[in-house]
Structure 1
């Protein structure tokens, strides 16, 4: 059974970094968390997430910051899609170019209508956000080999650009769910409440005690 509140912590396995989040999942989900990583450049990222009792995403606020730059994006569900608002200070693209990386472009999206079919939101580098479709579709308890397709409003970090992403979740039996998007696939280990324990190639959860 869900308990409230709870604290989850993951260490990154693809780069130096971590995520810590405090959640209340008694009636849907409210969460506030922080990610830190050094790839493609060192940054910290803070977010606040809200989902309804059916685990459909309602609102996501994200702030990312590094040396000489900061960005923010707010996604809020409306009657016919998503309202997207952004903010920016400093020059992330200059920091990326100085580190030998391709510029990130602008935060947010120029075409919010493309997000109209998204019932989920996703934040790159965060295992928490996989829980939204897992719980909404009951994939952690579904019969093996049952697959469900979703569209997520995917927020890229550190750019905070927002793009629609087609994702497929497939139940592999108790505690195991396959995640696929484009050519990427990962078999996730999840706990009975649908929160990720191990995300191969991205992160592993560290439990207290």
Structure 2
């Protein structure tokens, strides 16, 4: 497995947890990451992400694991559509019920055709994936109040269910990007390359500074 030249670490601010990614963002993005959290139940989530030179996502692989269960999903873009492959071992629903939470959906996409308009992928609880539309659409240097609506293949965690979701990214000026999805809104602090420094209510970057 090839080494990657950059490393970013975020700590969660909404719950106990963190995210660490190693990456290469020269000519697109290649990234491998690990996210850990205790909500809704303790889990470890590992991902691999690849885009083209235009920052359009071409492949994402995600694995999530906790006590007594493990799930995986792979999304591949090609020929104007997404291919989704999922796997499951153990019983995530039993772990969720024991913690007082409702059962999860099945991993993967029940109808990948519903993802046909998605260009980007978003991973629940991950800060890294916000970079995809920000860099692809050039929002770091965009005129303030420039807004772009995107459709994403949203991978829920820990279930790894994949659904289509609409999101809006708005440039607010140097170092600020507004993220909105449904009724949720957050003003993200980003660095000169678009990487999230602070995501209110979710995470803050601790390295590099």
When the two structures are superposed, what TM-score results if normalisation uses the length of structure 2? 0.97
Q: Distance in 1 between matches of 2:52 and 2:192?
A: 19
CA distance in structure 2 between the partners assigned to 1:47 and 1:92 by the alignment = 19
Q: Report the number of matched residues.
A: 206
Residue 27 of structure 1: how far off its partner (Å): 1.3
Q: Report the counterpart of residue 76 of structure 1 in structure 2.
A: 76
- What residue in structure 2 maps to residue 33 of structure 1? 33
1:80, CA displacement in angstroms? Answer: 2.1
1:172 alignment partner, SS class: strand
C-alpha separation in 1, matches of 2:93 and 2:80:
33
Root-mean-square deviation over aligned CA pairs: 0.9
Distance 2:190 2:116 in 1: 28
Residue in 2 aligned with 1:124? Answer: 124
User: What's 1:85 paired with?
Assistant: 85
Partner of 1:99: 99
Partner of residue 165, structure 1: 165
TM-score by length of 1: 0.97
Q: Secondary structure at the match of 1:135?
A: helix
Q: How far has the Cα of 1:208 moved from its partner? A: 4.2
Q: Summarize deviations over 1:61-80 as a string: whole Å, max 9, x none.
A: 00000000000000000202
Structure 1 residue 85, shift from structure 2 partner: 0.1
Report matched runs for 1:150-161 at 5 Å: 150-161=150-161
> Runs in 1 of length 4+ with deviation above 3 angstroms?
none
